[in-house]
Each structure stands twice: as C-alpha cells, then as structure tokens.
Amino acid sequence: MAEGSRQFGAGSLIAVFIVGIGLGWLVSSRQALLDRRASDGAGFEDVRKRFADESMRRLDLSPEQRRVYLDAWENGRRDFDLALGRMRPEIDAVFSRIDARVRPILSPRQLAVYDRIEAERRAHMPQRPAGAD
C-alpha cells in the first residue's frame, strides 16, 4: 500500500513538473510573440534605441564608455538622416513602384489597411533636408 502511494506521489510530482514546463514555455512564447510584434511596428527611432541598448548591453560598457558611445551614435544619426534625406526621392520612387504592383491586388478593406501602414512607415522616414537638391 505504501509502495503504491509513493508511486502515485512521484507520478503526480512528475506530472506537475511537466505541466509547469509546458505553461512556462507557452507564456514565454506568447511574450516573445508580443515583443516581436511591438518591435516590428516600431519606427526608426525605436529601432535605433533598441539597437543602441542591445549593443551597449552586449559590449558591457562602463558609464563613461556609454556616454561616448551614445554621443558618437547621436552625431552619426544626424549624418545618417541627412544621407537618407538626400536619397529620399530615390527611395520614394522605389516605394511608388512597389505600390503600383501591390495596390491592384488588394480589396478595398485591405487597401485601407495598406494605406494606414504606408502612412505610418512614411511618417518615420527622415525628411529631405533643405538645400539637398
């Protein structure tokens, strides 16, 4: 009788352990999916910040190194925005060619969603700097 009770207790413990692992996996998978969705919809600034944060974490920078690193990347960001701004007409032409192929295949409902997505994407693009003609 004691042997059967001990086996039942061990079996129950194993079952609880397996259920715990399964629940932990499901919760972490769901959180990873939510995090990925949030990052996929992020604009340039969010992506830049996430990249800088991850880079500094991986580099294990001291506070002084972090200050210099962020300053260098901030100065570089302005240069990057100017370069993208000068390329903006060419980038817009590429997006127009993509739109010309995609828009005809979309239903009116899909087209409304597509227009919102495109407006969000374009709002995050750097503007063409004045005098960059």
pTM value is 0.45
Average pLDDT taken over every residue of the chain: 80
* pLDDT value, residue 100: 94
Joined tokens for residue 112? 């409304």
Unique residue bearing structure tokens 């993208």: 84
- Amino acid identity of 56? M
CA torsion through residues 72, 73, 77, 83, sign: positive
Tens-digit pLDDT profile for residues 32-73: 777 666 665 666 677 778 888 888 888 888 899 989 988 998
Unique residue bearing structure tokens 């239903």: 107
